[in-house]
Each structure stands twice: as structure tokens, then as C-alpha cells.
Homo-oligomer: A and B are copies of this chain.
Amino acid sequence: MTAPQDVAGPPPAVKTATDTKPTATAPGTIYGLGLGPGAADLLSVRADRLLRGARHVAFFRKAGRAGQARRIVADMLPAGVVEYAMEYPVTTEIPLSDPRYNALLSDFYTTCTAHLRGLAQGGDDVVVLCEGDPFFYGSFMHLYSRLRDDVPVQVVPGITGMSAAWTATGLPVTWGDDVLSVLMGTLPEDVLTEHMRRADALVVMKIGRNIDKVRRALQAAGRYDAAWLVEYAAMADQNVVPLAQAAGRVTPYFSIVIVHGQGRRP
């Protein structure tokens, strides 16, 4: 699982009786822990073990909210664990294209990273909670790219939210040689339409306020009647509905639209 760049270096030189220099503290490891789609028993056995043995846990959340990652593991945190909540700065007033948006987020990740780096350099392991899979979209990557040259980082992959979404539809998503395209609802409508035309199976994430644009793109691509809307996949309030039957629906940002492939099936 360890990234090639993260492989432990050569073993430390053997100490002898004449070696009197004080030993530097061995750095701790930062674990990017894939939590999977949202059910506590869909963590991997490895992630479950690391989490239950953690002394430091870090997670992202919106200001004033409990945080979805924290909620998933609420019943699994060991007694006495030290929590570090990384609260996203409020950016709703700043358009995505404004340089201030990037600068604000960059500062935020730098601050979080400094704290985590300090813990690891002091010898502590830290588990960073990541919804889904840490390297598949998501915020952990912005910490990872800032930490990987300084301290040991290990990534534990997780079940993606999209896996839970297509499982929830009760239909396989890809067969035979189907091409699957994963699209963000935040993309421009014409880009969405073009990809929706060309792929066999589709996953569209980041729905929320983009739902009407996603509908129009699916319609233009001739895929609308085959689309499913999945809300809260793998969670207690999971809901699956044909998209065409959900007209006017207000749906969360983390909802997922699925169009199944129709490839070879003997």
C-alpha cells in the first residue's frame, strides 16, 4: 500500500558504545485513512484497526458542523484520543475563479499541515479521516502534497462513495468493455454533455445546486431516462430514485447520479 516515495529508507546505522550523540525522536506516521462511503462496517479491516488504536485523529468539517467523517467513526474512537478538527474557511462570498479563493484555501491547508507535521516530527502518529478513498477527489490530497517530503505518510484506500451508489441501485454499473466516465456536476454543461454522449457508464458527483445543469446535459446526451439519483449511499437514510422521477428535487452536494453501462453479458 505504501507509495513508492514513502518506502522506509535504509535502516539506521547500528549504534555502538562510542555513539554518544543524543538520538533524534523517530518521526510518527500520518495515515490518510479511507473511511469508505459512510457505514462504520464499510471501513477496511486495516482502517478499523488503525482508527481504534489512534492517539491523534484529524478531520475536516465545515465551521459549526459535526463533520461527516467524524460522524462515521463516532462509535469507534478510542478513549482519550486527541481530536484536531480542520474547519474549512467560509468561502461562500468568493467566486471559485477569484484568486482570493485559492489563496484562502491554500493558507488553510498550510495551517493544518503545520500542525500535523509538528505532531509527526514530535514522534506521534496521526490518523486523518478521509471520506471515501483518500486519493479520489477529496481534501486529504492537499495535505498529502504538502507533507510527503517531510514526514512519513501512508494512505489506506477506501470504498468510494460511487461504489456504494451503484450498489444501492441494485444494478451492476459496468459490464464487459464498458467505458466509465466520472464527472463532476461543477463542470460546464457542454463538457458534461460531450462526455455523457461518449461513455457507456456514467457517475456524476457533486450534484447539489448543479442538479438542473446535470439534467439538461443528460437530456442533451440522450441519457436522462436511464439516470438514477442516489442520496446518502450506504447510510441509514439512503435513497435511490430514477432521476426523471425526482423533478424539482433539492438534493445534497454529495448525491451521486449513476447511468449503468449495457455492455456484453453472456
Q: Are B42 and A43 in contact (CB under 8 A)?
A: no
Which chain A residues numbered 102 to 149 have a C-beta less than 8 Å away from chain B? 102-103, 105-106, 109, 133-137, 141-142, 144-145, 148
- The docked-state distance in angstroms from the alpha carbon of A160 to that of B194 is 26
Tell which of B155, B173, B187, B195 touches A167, judged by Cβ atoms closer than 8 Å. B155
Q: A1-B168, A5-B170 are in contact. Are A157 and B265 (CB under 8 A)?
A: no
Query: Is A190 interfacial (CB-CB < 8 Å)?
Result: no
Q: Is A262 interfacial (CB-CB < 8 Å)?
A: no
Question: Do residues B157 and A42 form an inter-chain contact, with CB atoms below 8 A?
Answer: yes
Report the bound CA distance from A135 to B165 in whole Å: 11
Establish whether residues B174 and A137, one from each chain, have CB atoms under 8 Å apart when the complex forms.
Answer: yes
Contact A164 B198 (CB under 8 A): no
B44 touches A36 (CB 8 A): yes
B195 touches A179 (CB 8 A): yes
| Shortest distance from the beta carbon of A162 to any chain B beta carbon, whole Å | 9
Give A176 Cβ to nearest chain B Cβ, in Å: 8
Segment touching B, from A15-23, A45-53, A57-65, A247-255: A45-53
- A residues in contact (CB < 8 Å) with B: 1-6, 34, 36-37, 39-46, 48-49, 101-103, 105-106, 109, 133-137, 141-142, 144-145, 148, 155-160, 163-164, 166-184, 186-187, 191, 194-195, 198-199, 234, 238, 240, 264-266
